[in-house]
Structure 1
Amino acid sequence: MTLTISPPATPETPLTEPRRPLRRTGFSVRRTLAYLLLGLLSVAVLVPFAWMVSSSLKLDADVFSVPVRWIPAEFHWQNFTSIWSRIPLLTYLRNSVFLSLTITALQVLTGSFAAYGFAKVRFPGRDALFLAYIATIAVPWQAYMVPQYVIMQKAGLVNTHLSLILLQAFSAFGVFLMRQYYLTIPDELSEAARLDGLSEYGIWARIILPLSKPALASLALLTFVNTWNDYMGPFIYLTDNNLWTIQLGLRSFVGLYDAEYAMIMTGSVLSVLPILVIFLLGQKYFVQGIATSGMK
């Protein structure tokens, strides 16, 4: 009787390749397409700014030339020097900076303080009052524009910066933004502070605000940009040329039958620079305020 010893069984070699490389390839393709789409959208957004910078270095006759000449045949750098003597640009910029900084500081203060009450303080009718206050966002400004002007006129505040400051010192959107951020901060922190004897003002200033820097930066940036670019408010309430903002000052180049478009573009470039600098300095906190929560 012959015994045969068979070799040990070996696992069969798979006939097909694993699917993981295919999945990685598909993910890479989707990511590449997404980056390509975002790049195209970024270019589309930057085209008007490129045209604005290019037009600021041209003559009025060359601004609307067909086809568009993106690189001027001759750079007129004197536009950026002559504009300071054509209009009181420094005064306009100073007024815009004053209004933007003042209104931004007040909105951040009032918005964060009111949001703390709606998010961390319990009182009867809190949610109903919050919904009623937020509902004012849906009311267009044109609906109460005339009553506001009448109130300011009766108070003798027309043609003063104080009228714009008082009207824009409070923002329902700012309260909503800060409240939603405060809700992500654990209530146990506030309760522990109350047990230690800290007042509500102390909890807001020493605990809640330090944890809300991203949201505060987001609100400050949005408020500053909106105030800086505001045209209708100063146009309605400010009549003295010495009180005008940069947005009103650019109207000086618009005549009855013609407009100096090159100078308008030059002033627009100068007015965009402060916004660009502020956004570059605060973009880190701005992104965190939009994309993260208050958990530390």
Structure 2
Amino acid sequence: MDYISTHQIKPGDKVDLKSIETKSRGSFDDKDDAKAFTAKTNDAIRDLQYRMFVEGKQSLLVVLQAPDAAGKDGLIRKVLGQMNPQGCRTYPFKVPSKEEAAHDFLWRIHKAAPAKGKVSVFNRSHYEDVLVVRVEDLVPKKVWSKRYEIINHFEANLAAAGTRILKFYLHISPEEQLERFGKRLENPEKHWKLNTGDYAARKKWGDYRQAYEQAIEECSTDHAPWFVIPADHKWYRDASVAGIVHQTLKDMNPQMPPVDVDLDEVRALYERELAK
């Protein structure tokens, strides 16, 4: 299955999230089939990420956006976090600190962009500044409405410097979200995630949906595409994102650098030490 073409929002496409399914099985027979695919694909991702790290010429940025309980943390744990942490780092963007708020909205974001050979995973991102600030009326429309163009220029700059960008919107239904909120209440290990603000945000579900639709429409480009991932089935969410990341790394085609030492000389030194 070609997960890229299935879930990518092409430049110029209109986005109607109500018409996009949240519950997909893809081509999988069942949950176990999907989990087996994800495990196998994770192995291939780790190999390609290692090659990219050693090559040191390209980088990958993965952006995750979603309503609460859609599974950003789970996706990181089960797929993206499976990469070698020596070359991969996750950045959770929360409410800006005092220092961050004193700068332009991309200041803290640019600092977290991946260096050559590295992968950065954004758990929430610069898109909060055209989502939350819009719906919660934190800044005037004349401010946030200009940010789409600024974001596009920022991402184009990263792409020109050798960074591939993948942006995922985890598309969950309000019914599934509420069910997961209930499971959090039943699980003491997840009580730290409980937040009354999550229920307040549900009252603005339609407003957030419109904000996401416009952000995706305005900022899905050839060099920084958005993907809308059905997220009601966690196993499909994980498998489809793994498939897209794997295919992207394959397309990047990282190469191991040529050997610049005399292998015969190194082997002779080794054997000499071994014989002592």
TM-score surpassing 0.5?
Answer: no
TM-score normalised to the size of structure 2? Answer: 0.25
> Is the radius of gyration larger for structure 1 or structure 2?
1
Question: Higher strand share goes to which structure?
Answer: 2
Q: TM-score, normalised by structure 1?
A: 0.24
Which has a greater percent of helix? Answer: 1
